[in-house]
Every structure is written in structure tokens, then in C-alpha cells.
Structure 1
């Protein structure tokens, strides 16, 4: 176990020499690495305590949507009861998805990469690097056998874990060839069939939004496709400049990429008459619209409406500038739908179990995201749950309805956490409109409101912290 040692206070740090500060920094980093290694052990042991057999203590009935065996690491690692990840994630203050990944990495390292696991706990390999290796061996296509994973383990440890992404990709490709894991298709590639790791991808970092409303995009494509895209962007950027755009080249190329996407969507709709069938009757993927839900504050003064300079996009819960909205709406291909304001202070109800759209919109706007602790899935894609279960037999038996379809008894839950609430000992209640208090099977409590999640358990005091930095005295 990690031994907590009290560090110097804020005032004491100011009195340290440069050498002392370096020693303190090194000690802090060592403690951080040791704590991260111990957390991996905790995650692996948590999985040991929750095998698939433990499902029966949480959900002893077999119904559609109940808990099931969940493989979260590579072949040969033990299975884990699906819903156990939620409680570990809640205690750590991370999402259930992140907790699942943590447990998966711990099991992958302990069972399929044991040498790397030992190096981590000996302090020779940092946890973040070991987890990067585990992430690759878990999700490799084709899947690595235990023998193939052991080969990767031996090669990585030979360099004390100092391996970068490119080297790791080459090592995995060599492993696939060495253990003959892929199905060769000489017609596709006469030299080695599918015996390689395909690096192609397009990733849009839509959860990391700049204050100007931009997102990063990274991609790796075929050489020919890359050259074609470069030529298309260069041509469109030059066209924009000829049309009078004063934007710099990089900005025009970025705008050209968006124009390219919208033009392709419009072309697909035009060519196929808004249907998803080709001329020979074959099914085609439907060209999709991009729908954004923007909320902007407005003030009324007589007949004049004044909008604030900023607003909020539901997608990603991010800031949006009013000028951006105006530019988007100015596009001739943009369809704008203005919906009436929903008063979130006015309670709404409906007879029966079904939830009408007007109430669903109310819950979506009030909760914004799934209301489970730390979950950030947008409410518009969530289920609407009756906090207190709706009794379908109450009316027929002449009893009052314990779980009415009323805004003070409804909440947005993503499908995973909806199933978790239904089939496990997790339970919650609404303490005020949009404010929820959750209790885990082990008795930990959390409050979830529009500002986020707060743990209600008495905090663990732990080691003393440095405290906020003080303001340095002026030089004389």
C-alpha cells in the first residue's frame, strides 16, 4: 500500500532552494506513479470480486436488457459482471466508460502482459505507457491470442516499455504475421494479404471545442486519397479567394473541407431524389442532415428582441457564438426551426405511462445530460425514466399511482444507466427539479444537478495538501 507522507506547506515551499524543489518534484512524481500502479491493482481486484456469477446477487431474473457477461479485455482474461464498473467509476469521479477501460487495461496487463505488469509495479515502466500498450493489444484486429500477446509483452519489456505508437504498430503487425493470425487474401494484396495493421482513420475531437467554436480533426488516409483531398481543398481555397474571401489560406482550406462535406450530402440527395436507392435498385446509405440544437438568451423590449452574444449547443454542451449561428443560418442550404420557449419552472404531467414530446423536451432541456453521476451523454439521446417506477396495475386496482408521468418524477438516463438503475441496487430520488441524489449498492451517495456531480460521502482526509499558492512579496 502507498504510505502517505505529509509534504511541506505553501509557506515552506517558498523557503526551499532550487535543489530542494527538484527533489520535491521528483518525490511527488514517484508517489504519483506508485499511486497509479496501485489503482491498477485495485481495478484488477475489483474485477476479481465481480465475476459473471456475481450477477445473480444483483439481478436474479432473466429479462431482456438485464446484466450480462461483459468481456472488456483480450482473449484469456476473466469476464466481469457488466454493471460493476459503474460503482468503481463513481468513487473515482470518472464515467462508467472510463472505469470499464481502466478495469480492462488492468486485466489485460495482469493476465496477458504479465512482464509489463511486473515492470509497472517495480516502478520501471509508467502506468500510462503500459496502458497504451494494453489498449492496442485489446483492440487489435485480428485479435491477438494469448501466445501472440505474450510475444508483444516480451518485446516491449526488452526495451523497458520505451516504445512509441509507430513502433508498437510495427510490433503488432509483426506479431500478426509471426503467429499467422490473419486470413490472407492474395487477390486483395498478393504480398501479405491482410497481414498488417490498418492505420487509416478519421477522428473528429468534438468534445474538445475551442472558444471560437472550432474542433480539431485528424486523419490518416491512403496516399491517393490524401493527394486528391489536398487538390480539392487547394482548388476550393483558391476559388474562395477569387470570390473575395479575405481569410488566410489555412482558414479557407478549413472552410473548403466543410463545403466539400455539405456539397457531397446535397449531391447524394439530388442524384437519388431524396431516396436511398440507386438506379439499379440497390440500397444506399442515406445522406444525413447535421442537426444542431442551439439555445440563446434573449431579452424583449417592446417589439424589439435582443439576443446575447453567446449561446449553448446541446451537442457536446459547448459554447456557441451568436455570430457563428448567423453565419451558419446564412447558408442557403441551412434549414432553421425556431421552437417556442419551454418554461422549465412549469410542471407538466400526462395520464398513463407514455411520455409525450412536450414533456420529453422539458426533461431534455432541464437535465441536459444523463443524470447518473459523472455521465455526460446528451439528454436528447437518452431514455426518459420514471424515477419512482410506474405501476401499470394501479389504475385497474383502484390504487393511487406511485410513479406518475410527471416532470417531478422523470429523468434523463442513457440506456446503460437506465438498465443499471432497473436491474441493480443503485437507486436515486429527485430532491428538487433537476437535482438528483444517487445511492450506490455500497452506500456511497452522490448529488447530480446542472452543475455536475458532487460526492456526498464524508471526504477522505488523506495526506495534507500544499494549499493554494500565496501571492509573492514585491521585490525591493
Structure 2
């Protein structure tokens, strides 16, 4: 197998000794720096070719994508960088095969490095610094004033090639203290804007039936809460639970969730050896849905209080499975799975455990291939559900925004009937989910698309580039 050595010459890989292999890696490292540097160069030049104007508006961080009003100091980059035209990031991201947000970050880093961190940029240019490390400095210093960014630049440029993330963070913190003492003084008040409790789910192919709960808040409150779940975890161990400490802490969240309004303790023994635990359990607080297959099992907050002082959790499962399979009505049924939205494939035994103690409402089946139409602009709820289940996510190239959070776009623009529009314009074949940003991008006329008979979407963008969006991803087509 031929490979390029550190001097750019082809050599046989299996003829290299250990020192030779390391030399090849060093050469690849430098070439990799060059590729990443050139991406930043191209992004910066892209901004030169796409300046903000009164007609184009200003590219902004607003996820809705509505271009801002042109002002002197508005930009994707930090203070002192030139403004970029609205929707300039979409073609760049599509060409790179990344999301629009990733393209905006590349543009912002390129602008900040060239205009606010020139000493670091010089070292990136000569491949003396890893571009990803320079981009990290740009990201952390992005909210600061131009003067503060200059201090960060002067402090880190000579040492960036060898310094750690901790050193980068210290340099930025020092610049904040020097140039923005008001941010330090108001740190506590500002931090409250970031307080939240969020529930997340892994990719569908990993850890099915498990979710992550993240809390950000007052240190004293969260410390007390952490101590409480650790105490409950210890009580579970004393009661015979042999799971690791981390798993018992997760189960402790279920104990707290099941405590009655009078503060009575949940029955700890009920969680020992029980699968699944509440901490591993179902989606909370989501909207009820119609499911593909035999119907949707929606578990209401009517769990029988079999355990003293317990309150049943409210769970909504977007379940795609046969109802007979879920209820175990097939004699001799083998172990099988159902598809739960956001969680992926889940063993039916676990699904039955989630909803077994609850009243379930079954919603009729949707035919995803149903052909029907209405004359009004807004799609009926059943039609919206059909399109959401059919496509699953925003159908713009490389966008994976969940369809439930998207707008329903008329692929061929809707024309009101009293203005000469034909009947039946609102139908599944003429509808597709687009996130708000890409909906506005399409409406602006910069992009157009069509739905093909096989259910894929063909997009045509600026600069004669086309893309095919299929269920498994995005394919770049030959230039027009």
C-alpha cells in the first residue's frame, strides 16, 4: 500500500519502520493543519464576496434565520468584524456537508481570527498552531470587546501551540476582569439567565431506554439535592440494591419523583431489581402523538397508587409498533422491539413496563401513503402528523431539526383560491417539514426544491449546486 511520507514522496507502508511511521503521521498532521487553515481562508473570502447590504440584510445567530436590519456593528463575528449578508452561511455549509449552524461558526471564527486575533492568525497561516485550537480561542473571546480580544491575542499567541485549555480559559477570564469588570460584578445575576433543567436523549442507536437529565442552578440548592440523592442511593444499598453507586443515584431520582405531596418517602424496596427505573424511563412533558402501526399508547397521569404515597409519572411515548405486540396478545411471542421516537428501538417488555400501570388512549392508525387534499392553506392535524411521521426531520440539506419542531412548507408556493389558485394545493405530496430558518431561506428565493416520486427531495441552491436529501442523509449532486 502506497502512502505519502513526511517529504511528500510515495513509499510502501509495510516497508516503514516505527520511526518512519511516526514521520508519516507528522507529515499528515501538517497537511491536516493546512486543510483546516484553508477552510478558514475560504470562509473569510466568502464574507468578502457576501457583504451585508440593505437588500440582503445581515446574517445573524437567530435560529429562525430572519436577517437583521443592517447596522454598522452587527456581524456573525465579534465586535469590529464586517457584517455578512443574510443566508450567506447556507451554501457554504452545504458545500462542506455540515449544518448551517456549523457554517456560521466557521464564518464567525474566520472573521474573529483575521480581524480581532491577528497574531494568532499569523501563526495559523504558517501552520505553527493547530487551527482547531485557534478556533477555540476565537469562540471563547467572541463575546468580548475588541480591546479585550486584543489582550487575549497578545497573551496567547506566543504560547498557543503548547498551552492547555485551562491556560486559554485563564487568559480569557483575565481579559474579562480587565475590560469588563461589570460582567464579573453581575456574574451571579447573569448566571440566572442560564439556569434550566433539561431532558435529553441519546442517538437512537445508543442506550435505548435511557435519558439524561441536566440541571443548572444555584450551587447551594443543587449541592443539597445531590446530597439527598446520594443519601437515598446509600439507603437503597442498605436495602439490598447491588447496582453501582451511579445507577442507584439515578434510581434515587425516581424515589424523589414518587414521593407524595405530604412528603412521605417512597417504598425503596419497590425500585430494587425493578426494570426499568423511572430515571431510565419515558419521555416527559412532550406532546401526544399519533403513531405509525396499530396506534399510539399515551400513558395518562392516572397510575394506580400501588405504592404508598406515590404519584404516577406523566409519560407520552411516540410509539411505532403493533398494538397486539405491545399488549402481548400473540401467544409464544419472541422478544421484539418497537420504535420510540427520540429513543430508538426499545424492547417491548420495557415499553409494557412503562405503560402497564397507566390508562392508555389508543389513537387510530395513520396511512402514511394516503393521498388526500384540502383547499385551505393550513394542513389538518392528521395531514401534519402524516408528513411529520413520513419525513422525520427538516428536509433541507444536512439539517436534522426534528419535524415536530418544524414548519410545514408548501413546496410549490400556496396561492389563495380567491387569487386564482387551484384547489387541493395543501396535500402531503406538496408539504414538507422545514425548520424556521430554512423555511425562510427557501421563501427568500435563494433555494428551491421538489419532492421526487420515491419520497426524496432534490434541492437547487446558489452557484449551480444541487443536493438530494434522502432518509439516510444528504448526497451532493453534480453541479447544474
Aligned counterparts, 1:27-426, within 5 A: 27-53=27-53, 55-56=55-56, 67-68=67-68, 71-138=75-142, 143-182=143-182, 206-207=201-202, 210-215=206-211, 224-241=220-237, 245-257=241-253, 259-260=255-256, 262=257, 289-290=285-286, 292-298=316-322, 304=330, 309-315=336-342, 318-330=344-356, 336-392=360-416, 395-396=417-418, 400-401=422-423, 404-426=425-447
Cα distance in 2 for residues equivalent to 1:244 and 1:318: 32
Please report how far the alpha carbon of residue 234 of structure 1 lies from its aligned counterpart in structure 2 after TM superposition: 1.7
- Preserved CA contact (<8 Å) 2:233 2:249: yes
* Structure 2 residue matching 1:438: 3-state secondary structure: strand
1:165/1:225 CA distance change after superposition, 3 Å = farther
1:121/1:183 CA distance change after superposition, 3 Å = closer
Deviations 1:150-191 (A, max 9, x none): 001111113134333333333222212222441675xx89xx
* Structure 2 residue matching 1:391: 3-state secondary structure: coil
1:98/1:308 CA distance change after superposition, 3 Å = farther
Deviations 1:180-235 (A, max 9, x none): 441675xx89xxx9899x99997876455633443566777765345313321122
Q: Normalization by structure 2: what TM-score? A: 0.75
Cα distance in 1 for residues equivalent to 2:370 and 2:415: 25
Aligned to 1:282: none
- Preserved CA contact (<8 Å) 2:124 2:130: yes
Please report how far the alpha carbon of residue 68 of structure 1 lies from its aligned counterpart in structure 2 after TM superposition: 2.9
- Preserved CA contact (<8 Å) 1:109 1:116: yes
C-alpha RMSD of matched pairs (Å): 3.8
Cα distance in 1 for residues equivalent to 2:470 and 2:231: 49
Q: Normalization by structure 1: what TM-score? A: 0.75
* Structure 1 residue matching 2:28: 3-state secondary structure: helix
Aligned partner of 2:465 among 440, 444, 463:
444
Please report how far the alpha carbon of residue 297 of structure 1 lies from its aligned counterpart in structure 2 after TM superposition: 3.3
Please report how far the alpha carbon of residue 441 of structure 1 lies from its aligned counterpart in structure 2 after TM superposition: 1.4
1:154/1:65 CA distance change after superposition, 3 Å = closer
Aligned to 2:279: none
* Structure 1 residue matching 2:339: 3-state secondary structure: strand
Cα distance in 2 for residues equivalent to 1:164 and 1:206: 31
Please report how far the alpha carbon of residue 23 of structure 1 lies from its aligned counterpart in structure 2 after TM superposition: 2.2
Deviates more, 1:420-429 or 1:345-354: 345-354
Which blocks of at least 5 consecutive residues in structure 1 are unaligned?
A: 269-287, 460-476
Cα distance in 2 for residues equivalent to 1:157 and 1:258: 49
1:410/1:212 CA distance change after superposition, 3 Å = closer
- Preserved CA contact (<8 Å) 2:378 2:426: yes
- Preserved CA contact (<8 Å) 1:386 1:410: yes
Between Structure 1 and Structure 2, how many residues are aligned?
413
Cα distance in 2 for residues equivalent to 1:120 and 1:437: 38
